[in-house]
Amino acid sequence: MFLWKTMHNSLPLGDILGRRIANVPRPCSLCGYTAETITHALFKCPWARTLWLSSEFGLRTDELDDNVTALLMTVFGEPEENRTRLMANYLWALWKLRCKEVYEAKKATPLQFLTLANSYEKLAILSGTTPGSDGCTIPQQVQVGSITCSVDGSFLLPDSAGWAYLLSDEGGRMIEYGLQAGLLSSPLHAEIMAMLGATTAASKKGIQDCIFYTDCANLNMVINGSLQADQLDWRVYHDLLNVIHIFRTNPGYSCAHVPREQISLVNELARFARINRTVYEGFTFPLFQHCTL
């Protein structure tokens, strides 16, 4: 729908609205230099030019045609599926960030633009979501190949904890991430809760085969049967049994112990959840502006 409105000159911009409604300002809401047309707002405004130049296309939009149809044909190029989808996601990301800056005074940086566009692209690859739909919701059943999931917890005495998981497909593309925060008894408890959240999310999505990575050696040994659950802190026993149950009822699930450096992003998400008391599950942009991708 967004692309259709773009091609048919129907986006709610100053130049378009000013022709139909009296007293609507027609200059650009961001630069104020010229009429707020679609080509100006999405491509030729200094704000938009900076973002396009920073994209992987390195696009010099100041040199493009002023006619919106001709401009889009030039930008999208040959009808090759991957480029068309990627360019559409970049365009949708730019529009979303522009609206935030105009209506909410939230400044956008090139890094935020790239991160948002790439998050839409990853979502589109996995779920077939069309750019311009209203959400970033992954379908309940994920039809992808080999799935991996990194989990980690963050703990600060006496009882402040955050935990997170990050599901990825065989190409390393993110499917979903989840964050939770609360009061727990120990660092081990945070690790267990991260694993419980991850295995529960994977099971709900119908993922039958998944490798779960943790940097907690004791948790890995319990899941793989080389250490008994009752040998650990009694306060984590109940949650640990729930984790073990999910692994036993999903024979395609396995657990592997890895160095923390290998799961640095999910570690950063867990810390973010603990510090900011964040609870989240899904696949949207805002949290990743705080993390290094």
Are 104 and 185 members of one domain? no
Query: What three-state secondary structure class fits 129?
Result: coil
Q: Is pLDDT above 60 for 284?
A: no
For residue 47, being part of any structural domain is answered with yes
Do 51 and 167 belong to one domain? no
Residue 136 lies in a domain: no
Place of tokens 């599901």: 167
Whether 157 is in a domain gets the answer: yes
For the ranges 15-29, 199-213, 226-240, the lowest mean pLDDT is seen at: 15-29
Looking at residue 140, what is its pLDDT? 35
Whether residues 151 and 265 fall in one domain = yes
The answer to whether residue 140 sits within a structural domain is no
Q: What is the overall mean pLDDT for the chain?
A: 79
- CATH code, domain carrying 157: 3.30.420.10
- What are 162's two structure tokens? 């955050």
Count CB-CB contacts under 10 A for residue 288: 22
Of residues 72 and 220, more confidence is placed in: 220
Q: Is the pTM of this model over 0.85?
A: no
Domain that holds residue 76: 2-127
Lowest-pLDDT range, 29-33, 173-177, 228-232? 173-177
Assigned token pair, 209: 């085969």
**Does residue 182 share a domain with residue 115?**
no
Backbone angles phi, psi at 41, to 5 degrees: -65, -40
Q: How far apart are CA 26 and CA 262, in angstroms?
A: 51
Strand-by-strand arrangement of the 147-156 sheet: 253-257, 210-214, 147-156, 160-168, 174-183, 280-282
